[in-house]
Amino acid sequence: MSQYTAPLADFRFVLDDVLDAQAQFARLGHADATPDVIDAVLEEAARFSGSVLAPLNAVGDQQGCRHDPATGDVTTPEGFKAAYAQYVDGGWPGLTAAPEHGGQGLPHLVGTVVSEMINGANLAWGNFPLLSHGAVEALRQHGQDWQREVFLKPLIEGRWTGTMCLTEPHCGTDLGLLRTRAEPVGDDAYAITGTKIFITAGEHDFTDNIIHLVLAKLPDAPAGAKGISLFVVPKFKVARDGSVGERNAVRCGSIEHKMGIKGSATCVMNFDGAQGWLVGEAHGGLKAMFTMMNSARLGVGLQGIGLSERAYQNALRYARERLQSRALSGPKRPDKPADPIIVHPDVRRMLLSVKALTEGSRMLAMHAGSLLDAASHADDAAERERAETLVSFLTPISKACQTEWGIENTYNALQCFGGHGYIAEHGMEQLARDARITTLYEGTTGIQALDLAGRKTASSRGAGLKLFLAEVEAFCAAHEGDGELAADIATLRAKCVEWSELTTGMLQAAAGNPDELGAASWDYLFYSGYVVLAYWWLRARAAARDSSMPAAFKDAKREAARFYFARILPRTLAHAEAIRAGAGPLMALDADSFGD
Amino acid sequence: MSQYTAPLADFRFVLDDVLDAQAQFARLGHADATPDVIDAVLEEAARFSGSVLAPLNAVGDQQGCRHDPATGDVTTPEGFKAAYAQYVDGGWPGLTAAPEHGGQGLPHLVGTVVSEMINGANLAWGNFPLLSHGAVEALRQHGQDWQREVFLKPLIEGRWTGTMCLTEPHCGTDLGLLRTRAEPVGDDAYAITGTKIFITAGEHDFTDNIIHLVLAKLPDAPAGAKGISLFVVPKFKVARDGSVGERNAVRCGSIEHKMGIKGSATCVMNFDGAQGWLVGEAHGGLKAMFTMMNSARLGVGLQGIGLSERAYQNALRYARERLQSRALSGPKRPDKPADPIIVHPDVRRMLLSVKALTEGSRMLAMHAGSLLDAASHADDAAERERAETLVSFLTPISKACQTEWGIENTYNALQCFGGHGYIAEHGMEQLARDARITTLYEGTTGIQALDLAGRKTASSRGAGLKLFLAEVEAFCAAHEGDGELAADIATLRAKCVEWSELTTGMLQAAAGNPDELGAASWDYLFYSGYVVLAYWWLRARAAARDSSMPAAFKDAKREAARFYFARILPRTLAHAEAIRAGAGPLMALDADSFGD
């Protein structure tokens, strides 16, 4: 059985030593986010995730959710509902929500940390509250006054949960194809009819009501993505005065049998003339959808980190306990029949690789959280815009890299166990199965790559990249002449120059042939991700040197940074070469000739 | 549900156009291996794997094996036993075994092709016959005359199956630690006592008897790996005259719950004073074990290819059928609501990547099969030794790379399905789960890497590498001045020079610090694998040009070769850089400082 303990020391290191979070909280007017409050929140989240959620992780995998075809009800695994009640009682659903809607108004940066803990403890369980955040954002930003009035408070208090109903059997990425219809039925209401699939937490037994945010087309909708509208469709009808009425015509038709996250209910939702109301403008659903999507993408990125952290903790414990063979350089524990496998260089390669990618990802994700705060709360409009542009640029990198690295990390951690990793007993194989969804939902890695290369780079003339490169250069310039960092600064600067050149090359090629953008996108995404992480490891190395953390912690940061630059960052060489190869080797073969 | 059709066209291309197999068969005296016979064998293997085994693949996953704790019996999934009966009736178990033991004496190269088909059709089922090959080899090479007389025929005819009982709860890689004891009980027999775990096909309902080959220690055994002996321990006792007697004291205590290959019985085997006989010399078990292990390692390498082929076929079908979004360069199917996703560059990247690694691996594996034939049957002792050295060098590369690529390939193929890949319905997630065992059993990837860098390179002064490089250079020299191949020849030659330099550098560093070998090993293994595959893709490109295969097939070979050189081979850049970084970044951190 795998275990999980929230990595509080590392969270504090990133908050205090790397990001200087308290200074930002003060600057942004988060008067409540004092060191004491933040500490208490982290401690309590660590307790809740470690002692309530973590033990339910294997239970969820073993029992899964159950669907009753007669009623459409979904029963969650034993203990899930009670844990959710504790979560609500603790006020967690509204941690970062605005106080005027019943939230606690704490910084997103703190919410990021808490989310990582929940995901590390129990990813499947974490999916139930996750999508409420997106629903809240969509209603807050695009909803009518009465909708905000009626829906936000119960969602933020966690008495209700929210969903995002986008995908249909024949369309996922290409939502312009969707067939769900919304017919006006008077009094500003609509009858929603259609089938949505892969609806996370579409049905469950946690709460009295479930608020679906549904993409559908109005009768006069233009074709394609420009004809999509967003509707709010509660499981139990809610009147404009907030009173809850009869069951709405929406039911869960079945749940999916999946590779992992078995404790999470993935529902087919049938809307059969269900009562709904328009959210935002008619045919303006795509914009509202991106509001939900961006929040969910950063959330899924945190799933990759949570799983990686849990995988690391368990692999490290095993590598210290498992005795097998002697160190090549001579016995390290002559008192034992063999040395612990952590003496072997290749086991260390796997462990350090997990550590470097996990802790690096954590800095990236927490930086994104701090940018969300600046985008919402900075006094200066220019700073808000800068933060918005930067977090928007970093979102596809965070989502895709953190989840792909999550798969690599759970792979390596399992590999440390040898054959024992493959059997259910140690819990490592569950982590690998659970991780596999994260590069698929909320936009596959390929979609993130297109988002980065297209919308976030080509369409914005590289605005996000320029801001990020300026931040890197500011750090490098500030540490000019720092002997310990000099070599890594030089490496990072060279990578930044190459990153700019690759970007220019990609955009120029794409101007002549649009396929060049798609052909470069995946390697461009990873090239970007590895350089971003190099920046964070450089900062971590500098921060660790001046930190008051214990010596062992600081040693580990220094060595993980060294490992990252020596052993991980060289992957950029392969990605750069692949980008330069262009679209030719991808596009020449006729689709009929790929095979029978 | 995923489907499988044996890729006969590609097998024939590699046999006829790449390897010129008929010429070798004739030279090695395989008079029976005429084109007609080979063709009939391939056709029949394709029929059996596609129509009998493939439909049972999902059944095996859903039902798994069942263990009766009262009797120790194991019941295999529905249809598995009947399929095995057909396999035996078809004479498949003895396909490549010597005619004097009841085999058909066909080349190993043909056996390699048949094994790939079985693995592509049903990996879990294929595990039952797989380990018989290793048992046969161990008995043939190391057994006493009466043991060969008594055991080989039923094993080769498939009336009995064999196992390899190596691992114990506290030892896998480090077999010197094993605790299973063998006490002499007179009449040349021994009483075997101990517990073995992870025993593939340790118990099942296919055959009347199961022949365990068991590592154990004699009372006077020296400590460590030099004290291991090999014993043959039948489930039902077998007398020297071949008559089968009462049940032996060996029972299956339980079966493992695993991530995948659920149709394969992974058994805990309890030996409770079971009757056994020494195979080979006392304390000489390690040598006999490597005989079994080498056969099993090449076999597991084929599992990676079989799964990759199946994954490719299904991903390709889906990518042609699934309509989603328009090509960036404009609609390709304006008659449809969207284009098939195979128009998108990143989907093509995934498909071509699977194709290039799968078909490249197939050439590598079939080459290894042809080397086994030369090692056994060449008239010239020098040729036999050359083949033996080369296949021994290539075995860790084949095993590790083909299985790691199998994981990458099933990953990419699943990814082509988006969220649909994650649900059980399409069968893609089973392929990914099944693939995950292949880098763990019969020696993890880390162990293969150490075998390559240590025993197969350092200990033999690079003899295998030199032979391989000479073969590459001979091909390059023979195609000097070939305009179409010139650029790739230059690239490959440069990689070969670098490969030699990296080898020398690694060995020199290791002379001063043995950890350098372990630190370089994993990246050295992959560097080697990618260069080996580049050689095969160069040969495939040349062979396709002159082949009589259809134009589409030849186009696909050319483009896959081009893709390989442009998009996959650059990974060597990252591996070379990591090797050059040395052991420092891996070894400096104290084991206690990796984390709490």
Mean pLDDT by 10 residues, chain A (596 residues): 95 98 96 95 98 98 98 98 98 94 95 98 97 92 96 97 96 93 93 98 98 97 94 97 97 98 98 97 90 89 98 98 94 95 98 98 98 96 97 98 98 98 97 98 97 96 97 98 97 98 98 96 98 98 97 98 98 98 96 94
Distances (CA, A) of B567 to A522, B340, B348: 12, 23, 12
- Between B188 and B143, the more confident residue is B143
* Min Cα separation B50/chain A (Å): 15
Q: Pick left, alpha or beta for residue B158 (phi over 0 → left; psi -120 to 50 → alpha; otherwise beta).
A: left
Closest to B5 in 3D by CA, of B124, B127, B116, B129: B116
Report the residue from B7, B313, B573 with minimal CB separation from A573: B573
A68: left (phi over 0), alpha (psi -120 to 50) or beta: beta
Predicted confidence at residue A294, as pLDDT, reads 85
Query: Which chain A residues have a beta carbon less than 8 Å from that of B267?
Result: none
Q: Is B172 on the interface with A (CB under 8 A)?
A: yes
Q: Which of residues 181-210 of A touch B (CB under 8 A)?
A: 198
B123, B200 Cβ separation under 8 angstroms: no
CB of B338 within 8 Å of a chain A CB? The answer is yes
**Which pLDDT belongs to residue A572?**
98
Mean pLDDT of B439-459: 97
Q: Please list every residue in chain B whose beta carbon sits closer than 8 Å to the beta carbon of residue A7.
A: 595
The Cα-based distances of B478 to B370, B468, B485, B486, B547 in angstroms read: 21, 16, 11, 12, 18
C-alpha span between B170 and A336 (Å, rounded): 13
**Is B513 near chain A, with CB under 8 Å?**
yes
Say whether residue A254 is in contact with chain B using an 8 A CB cutoff.
no
List the single residue in A with minimal CA-CA distance to B449. A346
Query: Which chain B residues are Cβ-neighbours of A574 within 8 angstroms?
Result: 570-574
User: Which residue from A450, A574, A584 is facing B570, i.e. has the nearest CB?
Assistant: A574
C-beta of residue A219 within 8 angstroms of C-beta of residue A183: yes
What are B146's two structure tokens?
Answer: 């009466």
Q: Which of residues 345-384 of B touch A (CB under 8 A)?
A: 345-352, 355
Nearest chain B Cα distance for residue A460, angstroms: 18
3-class secondary structure, A181:
strand
pLDDT computed for residue B470 by the predictor:
98
Contact criterion met (CB < 8 Å) for B352 and A320: no
- Say which residues have a Cβ less than 8 Å from residue A487's Cβ, sequence separation at least 6: none
What pLDDT sits at residue A234? 98
How far off is chain B from A240, nearest CA to CA, in Å? 36
Interface of B with A in 377-416 (CB under 8 A): 407, 411, 414-415
Helices (H), B485-566: 486-512, 515-545, 551-563
**∠ CA A437-B434-B196, rounded to 5°:** 125
* CB-based contact B433 A344, cutoff 8 Å: no
**Interchain contact B581–A (C-beta under 8 A):** yes
Task: Write the residue in B173, B414, B567 that is nearest to A325 by C-beta.
Answer: B173
Q: Do A324 and B173 touch (CB under 8 A)?
A: yes
Largest CA distance in chain B: 83
* B12 pLDDT more than 90: yes
CB contact under 8 A, B514 and A329: yes
Distance CA B321, CA B409 (A): 20
Classify each residue of A174-201 as buried b or exposed e, where b means 16 or more C-beta atoms within 10 Å of its C-beta: bbbbbebbbeeeeeebbbbbbbbbbbbb
Q: Which residues of A touch B422 (CB under 8 A)?
A: 258-260, 436-437, 440
Residue that is written with structure tokens 């989310």 in the block: A115
pLDDT of residue A316: 98
β-strand A229-234 against A250-255: which pairing, if any? Answer: unpaired
Helix or strand or coil: residue A489? helix
CB-nearest partner of A325 from B174, B323, B585: B174
Q: Which residues of A touch B170 (CB under 8 A)?
A: 323
Kindly identify which residue of chain A lies nearest to residue B441, measuring between CA atoms: A419
Contact B589 A449 (CB under 8 A): no
Q: B437 CB near a chain A CB, below 8 Å?
A: yes
A442 catalytically annotated? yes
How confident is the model at residue A467, as a pLDDT? Answer: 98
Which residue among A172, A313, A352 places its CB closest to the CB of B419?
A: A172
pLDDT of B241:
95
Strand A189-200, strand A266-279: pairing: antiparallel
**Would an 8 Å CB–CB cutoff place A422 in contact with chain B?**
yes
Could you tell me the pLDDT band of residue B187, with boundaries at 50, 70 and 90?
A: confident
Cβ atoms of A196 and A168 within 8 Å: the answer is yes
Interface residue A57 vs chain B (CB under 8 A):
no
Please tell me the CATH code under which domain A8-131 is placed.
1.10.540.10
Distance, in Å, from the CA atom of A78 to the CA atom of A485, rounded to the nearest integer, reads 51
Q: How close, in Å, is residue B76 to chain A by CA atoms?
A: 18
CB contacts < 8 A, A to B, total 289
A442, A480, A498, A516: the catalytic one is A442
Q: Which of B338, B421, B585 sits opposite A562 (nearest CB)?
A: B585
Contacts of B7 in chain A (CB under 8 A): 595
Q: Is the pLDDT reported for residue B274 higher than 90?
A: yes
Return the CATH number of the domain spanning residue range B161-283.
Answer: 2.40.110.20
pLDDT of residue A289: 84
Question: Cβ contacts (< 8 Å) between B429 and chain A: which residues?
Answer: 258-259, 436
Q: How many helices (H) and strands (E) does chain A have?
A: 19, 11
Tell me, letter by letter, the H, E, C secondary structure of B61-106. HHHCCEECCCCCCEECCCCHHHHHHHHHHCCHHHCCCCHHHCCCCC
Across the interface, of B177, B577, B586, the residue whose CB is closest to A345 is B586
- Whether residue B558 is predicted with pLDDT greater than 90 in this model: the reply is yes
Nearest to B119 by CA among B506, B332, B437: B437
Position B261 confidence tier, pLDDT thresholds 50, 70, 90: very high
Query: Encoding tokens for residue B355?
Result: 């194709």
User: What pLDDT does residue A514 have?
Assistant: 94
CB proximity A92 to B under 8 Å: no
What's the average model confidence in pLDDT over B418-422? 97
Within an 8 Å CB–CB cutoff, is residue A487 touching chain B? Answer: no
Q: Which CATH superfamily is domain B8-145 in?
A: Acyl-CoA dehydrogenase/oxidase, N-terminal domain (1.10.540.10)
What would the pLDDT profile of B200-251 be if each residue is shown by its tens digit?
A: 999 999 999 999 999 999 999 999 999 999 999 999 999 999 999 999 999 9
The one-letter amino acid at A199: I
- For the cut 90, the answer to whether the pLDDT of residue B291 exceeds it is no
Q: Which CATH class is domain A146-283?
A: mainly beta
Tell me the C-alpha to C-alpha distance, in Å, between residue B473 and each of A280, B24, B384, B546: 67, 21, 21, 21
Q: Residue B447: pLDDT band by 50, 70, 90 thresholds?
A: very high
CA nearest B448 in A: which residue? Answer: A346
Pick the closest to residue A363 from A538, A567, A573 (CA basis). A538
The H or E element spanning position B195 is strand B189-200
Nearest to A346 among B425, B522, B596 (CB): B522
